[in-house]
Homo-oligomer: A and B are copies of this chain.
Amino acid sequence: MRDVAIVAAGMTPFGELWQWSLRDLFGAAALEALRHARTDHLDAIYVGNMSGGQFVGQEHLGPLMADQLGMAGVPATRVESACASGGAALRAAFLEVASGMSDLVLAAGVEKMNDGADVTSVLASAADQESEVYHGVTFPGLYALIARAHMETHGTTLEDLAVVSVKNHRHGAHNPKAQFRQEVTVDQVMSSALVADPLRLLHCSPVSDGAAAVLLCPLGRAKEFTDRPVKIRASGMATSAMALADRRDPAFLDAVSVAGGRAYTMAGLGPADIDVAEVHDCFTIAELCVLEALCFTERGRAGEATRAGETTLGGRIPVNTSGGLKAKGHPVGATGIAQVIEIFEQLRGEAGERQVPDAAVGLAQNMGGSGASAVVHIFERV
């Protein structure tokens, strides 16, 4: 396999962007990446998107988006793995470059969620339709079950969960692309409206529109496009039982653990080597479960570590310096690429007030549904 680098990135703001259509969002992010790399050539495009069909009546995003860039002709494929669609698109682009088939490949993610669709129902189609959705479960409901299980098994408290939200809002306040740039307090989180007990509004990531794109090429060609490429050191992917009820321990994310293990093995690195991480905090409890599955903390100790400030900027392992899904926003198909962009900027020293000093190795973890699919990438400054 050839070594692969990311050489440029582009991203829209995340938020309720009523004036931007699905293709507008994609085009803005993709063209920004191409502009940074000073190229108008692509060999292939991958578009991560969860549900253009259900959200805005548009499938077949590959050719639509190639056309939107004025690049009709270029091979272009949509990749879907629910909220891990962006991570899956990056992996597909990585394999295409690594294989030698193509040199310049765009990996993008896009979602237009605010356009009149019943968002909760559309998102529910990422769960098991026959054994979960037909019976009325929604995603806040599934993650509430995970939270209750984690609290029962490990003694995690409501305050532990609230601190995740407080930390990510504090980080997001420094991110000009974030949907929410205001800080929140533990009291505000704990008194916000109840969504699915024990999860309250400020435990939940928002409904967002947005797009993000990164440009990949063989590491050997990276200097043609930037003087600060970032190497993709590993790509790990895994699945687990689709339905929460079919898992050994609903409070442990098997797919994240396996995907992370594959990525650590491929990179020849371990959790202690990671300087900065973006993880999938669709709900506050998700961040805690991911920290444990990726071995950033011992099992059951992620709440305690978070309360102790280990995952905040300046802590032992800063997590979600972008603001995470919670504050930055969560346009589901775009999220996996936006995470990678935060790591890309951190490793290039471009993260401004969010910068982790001398960050050399970063990790991005993206997952679909209640964690049935997971993608983990490890990146390195070169």
Contacts and interface: CB of A to CB of B under 8 A. Distances in A.
Interface string A218-257: 0000000000000000010111111000100000001100
A373 B60 CA distance: 8
A272 interface: no
Interface in A131-184: 133
Contacts of A80: 59-62, 77-80
A122 B246 CA distance: 32
A21 to B, nearest CB: 7
Nearest to A369: B60
Give this chain's copy count: 2
A51 interface: yes
Contact of A73 (B76, B88, B239): B239
B81 A88 contact: no
A99 B95 contact: yes
A246 B67 contact: yes
A198 interface: no
B92 A60 contact: no
A352 interface: no
B125 A53 contact: yes
B239 A74 contact: yes
A238 B74 CA distance: 5
Nearest to A133: B57
A13 interface: no
A340 interface: no
A317 B76 CA distance: 30
Nearest to A54: B53
18 contacts: A23-B130, A51-B53, A53-B125, A57-B124, A58-B125, A60-B80, A60-B126, A60-B242, A62-B80, A62-B239, A66-B239, A67-B239, A73-B255, A74-B239, A75-B237, A77-B79, A80-B80, A99-B99
